[in-house]
A and B are shown apart, each in its own frame.
Chain A
Amino acid sequence: MENPEISTPISISESEKTEQARHLSIPHQHKDAIGAKIGMWLFLFTELLLFGGLFLLYMAYRLQYTKDFVVAASELNLVLGTTNTIILLTSSLTMALSIAAIQRGKKKLSVAMLLATIGFALAFLVIKYFEWTAKFHHGIAPNSPELLSKPNGEIIFYGMYFSMTGLHALHVIIGMIILLFMLVFLLRGSISKTDYIKLENSGLYWHLVDLIWIFLFPLFYLLH
């Protein structure tokens, strides 16, 4: 998960401070890579808190319905879950490689790595789709009679499962769209060796999507 590119802390040195004053000769079009990164980190922070609310609920309900959660969790498909974890982790690697490549001016490699990342994202979604539809075939869907016949704790487990993985899948889709835009920018040359902050910020977003899955996976699949 750790990537030297993204773990750079937001620190503003004195020299940057004096430098940033001279920044704006044309006010509405200035470029400030550090500023853009601060903005992105703040945004990621809000995303963490968004999911934080869900994790809080998960914790509260797990304490309340421990036994039901264990029963329901054992019915999830561990193979598919693990595969998806590996896919997403690898996609984070290719994402980081894509950034590293453009920093060294290797545009082709960067494009290839970005394409791989998008491919992994797609694979993740396809597997997720099969996982969900398999559950639906067994009658496990929100508000389905089959699910409603189960104990409350299992209803809540699946409620949390569908809400959290659904919301995460939505983030994967948004991430994919962002990465597709980045692909266009890369090909057009507006992301380059000297100006790659857009790709870097998209990478940060992608790592966040990955990071959230890293927490979802054990909570739903492994904690029996």
Chain B
Amino acid sequence: MANGVLAERLENYLEHKTHKGIFAWILSTDHKRIGILYLVSMVTFFWVGVTLGFLMKLEMLTPGKTIVDAQTYNTFFTLHGIIMIFLFIIPGIPAVFGNFFLPIQIGAKDVAFPRLNLLSWYLYIIGGLFAIASLFLQGGPIDTGWTFYVPYSIRTTTNVILPLLGAFILGFSSILTGLNFITTVHRLRAPGMTFFRMPLFVWALYATAWIQVVATPVVGITIVLVIIERALHVGIFDPALGGDPLLFQHLFWIYSHPAVYIMILPAMGVVSEIIPTFARRTIFGYKVIAFSSLAIALIGYFVWAHHMFSSGMSNTSRAVFSLLTFLVAVPSGVKVFNWVATLYKGSIELRAPLIYVMMFIFLFSIGGLTGLVLGSLATDVHVTDTYFVVAHFHYVMFGGTAIILFAALHYWFPKMFGKMYNEKLAIWATPFIFIGFNMLYFTMFILGYKGMPRRYWSYLPEYQTLHIISTVGSWILITGLAIMFGNLIYSLFKGKPAEANPWGGVTLEWQIPSPPPAENFEEIPVVNHGPYDFSKINGNSDGKS
């Protein structure tokens, strides 16, 4: 491995400009700059989504109208879903941190197709603008919910085609990123970087990339068919003409359930990076974690119909899908046990990234376990389409992926920008996020269990106390998010210069200067050991891989 800090005469990627001004960014094919482009655009979309979520919770403060009418509320939850899922969570970690660190972690100078990589970002932006444009057009913004269920999505008079096209284009972007990453992993690993010497983040990205490539086309064609249906009335999904809306649901979830793993797998990869670094110990069960990513990717394909337990299916298929759903919990559980086992007897340094990871393990475990409540037939029928489901997927998606995205942001911030963030402020943000999050979403479990249906604009007065707690929670959560992002943005300009390896990490990205040189490595490193070998740092056999 190339050791220590490389010569400082290397121009870093922020100084190395191929074009002038803004064009140095939007025309750059450097994977690091593209990662930053994604980061900026994604955080922007994230705050649009947060604002919509904030307004929704404000509306739910009282039964009946609080600030907006029912139709506006419908468009709020639809756009909140579309933005958060298609523009934030799905591209999230792979597009930002995958782009930035995948090539570095395998000892390459860039991804396999740099220009295609830039094209993916453009498609992402175009898709995002399409999705949001419906806000400003006649007919009003889309109100179908992010799932676009037929027949409503072919009957509503709101702008459906534009956001659908947006989702299709975003899918294209996702596919191109996926095939780029697969090819990169196969072709550009440094000498000695065998598959089982790759960092687990790379393994997670690799498994994710396969899901992106294999699952996304199915939702692509489904979306195209809804567009055709709306434009030409061919009847394929229209029950009035003999079409079957259930087939839409099947095709939709054949993608959208694996998409859940597109969201969570990269996050799990990040966790497997952060924990060894701050425990000063090699990861417990490297191969098992690597294979569990592939197992999740594989089993994840065969569980889609658990979204449709109450839609109309034979009892046999419901039982089979329920069983498979339980199976997919196994590799996820394996990972959680391995992470905790890694921390055991480690010399733990409790820095902000690790605190976020702890938060993740707690929240994600709640999300995962409540997923089993939804995966079992009898209980699912009781809580389906209630706030219980809303709480579950926010615990998994927000408590899981988004929290880890924040962890990754803190973990790699010094490397990406060459600046240190303010550790105290970063830690101060976490109790706000943690308390706000649980107030906001845990109440939803109770509300759902008591029968509060999701997507309703009004509710019975007896639910109000819980709704108020939930809404106040959203304010605390947003305060925490504001502190966190404020700290990072402030540090971007005023932060102290970061060392090359502030955490004592051992993967390749910590062996090069911060920020990385334009071409990552002065010379391509030769790898001769596993990714989490702390024996040199610890000076004992405890950290050996």
CB distance from A10 to the nearest CB of B (A): 8
**Is the pair B110, A28 in contact by a Cβ cutoff of 8 Å?**
yes
Closest to B109 in A: A27
Query: What is the bound-complex CA distance between A176 and B112, given in angstroms?
Result: 26
The stretch among A39-47, A107-115, A121-129, A204-212 that forms the contact with chain B is A39-47
Which of the residues A45, A51, A155 comes within 8 Å of B242, measured between beta carbons?
A: A155
Known: A18-B191, A21-B189, A155-B242. A163 touches B236 (CB 8 A): yes
Q: How many residues from B make CB contacts under 8 Å with A?
A: 47
Which of the residues B175, B217, B235, B251 comes within 8 Å of A159, measured between beta carbons?
A: B235
Query: What is the bound-complex CA distance between A20 and B241, given in angstroms?
Result: 56
**Is the pair B214, A159 in contact by a Cβ cutoff of 8 Å?**
no
**Is the pair A34, B244 in contact by a Cβ cutoff of 8 Å?**
no
Known: A23-B188, A27-B519, A57-B247. A162 touches B234 (CB 8 A): yes
Q: Which residues of the other chain, A, contact B331 by a CB distance below 8 angstroms?
A: none
Query: What is the bound-complex CA distance between A49 and B520, given in angstroms?
Result: 36
Q: Which residues of the other chain, B, contact A155 by a CB distance below 8 angstroms?
A: 235, 241-242
**Is the pair B113, A39 in contact by a Cβ cutoff of 8 Å?**
yes
Q: Name the interface residues of B181-231: CB closer than 8 Å to any CB of A.
A: 182-183, 186-191, 213-214, 216-218, 220-222, 224-225, 228
Q: Name the interface residues of B144-199: CB closer than 8 Å to any CB of A.
A: 175, 178-180, 182-183, 186-191
Query: What is the bound-complex CA distance between A34 and B216, given in angstroms?
Result: 24
- Report the tally of A-B residue pairs with Cβ distances under 8 A: 129
**Is the pair B112, A143 in contact by a Cβ cutoff of 8 Å?**
no
**Is the pair B182, A42 in contact by a Cβ cutoff of 8 Å?**
yes
**Is the pair B112, A32 in contact by a Cβ cutoff of 8 Å?**
yes
Q: Chain A: interface secondary structure? A: helix
Closest to B214 in A: A49
Which of the residues B183, B236, B524 comes within 8 Å of A57, measured between beta carbons?
A: B236
**Is the pair B191, A156 in contact by a Cβ cutoff of 8 Å?**
no
Q: Is B232 close to A, CB under 8 A?
A: yes
**Is the pair A56, B242 in contact by a Cβ cutoff of 8 Å?**
no
**Is the pair A60, B217 in contact by a Cβ cutoff of 8 Å?**
no
Q: Is A153 close to B, CB under 8 A?
A: yes
Known: A21-B190, A39-B183, A159-B236. A167 touches B224 (CB 8 A): yes
Q: Is A139 close to B, CB under 8 A?
A: no
Q: Which residues of the other chain, B, contact A167 by a CB distance below 8 angstroms?
A: 224
CB distance from B106 to the nearest CB of A (A): 10
Q: Which residues of the other chain, B, contact A156 by a CB distance below 8 angstroms?
A: 235-236, 241-243
Which of the residues A32, A45, A148, A160 comes within 8 Å of B214, measured between beta carbons?
A: A45
Query: What is the bound-complex CA distance between A162 and B178, given in angstroms?
Result: 31
Known: A21-B190, A153-B242, A159-B241. A28 touches B114 (CB 8 A): yes
Chain A positions 174 through 197: 1 when the CB is less than 8 Å from some CB of chain B, otherwise 0: 000000000000000000000000
CB distance from A68 to the nearest CB of B (A): 8
Q: Is A137 close to B, CB under 8 A?
A: no
Q: Which residues of the other chain, B, contact A18 by a CB distance below 8 angstroms?
A: 191
Q: Which 7 residue pairs across A and B have the least CB separation, nearest first?
A: A152-B242, A159-B234, A27-B109, A143-B233, A53-B221, A49-B217, A42-B179
Known A39-B180, A53-B222; further 20 A-B contacts with Cβ < 8 A: A12-B187, A23-B188, A24-B108, A28-B29, A39-B179, A42-B179, A42-B183, A47-B217, A50-B217, A52-B217, A56-B251, A57-B247, A61-B244, A142-B234, A148-B241, A152-B242, A155-B235, A158-B234, A160-B234, A163-B236
Partner-B contacts on A (CB < 8 A): 12, 17-18, 20-24, 27-28, 32, 34-36, 38-39, 42-43, 45-47, 49-54, 56-57, 60-61, 64-65, 142-143, 148, 151-153, 155-156, 158-160, 162-163, 167
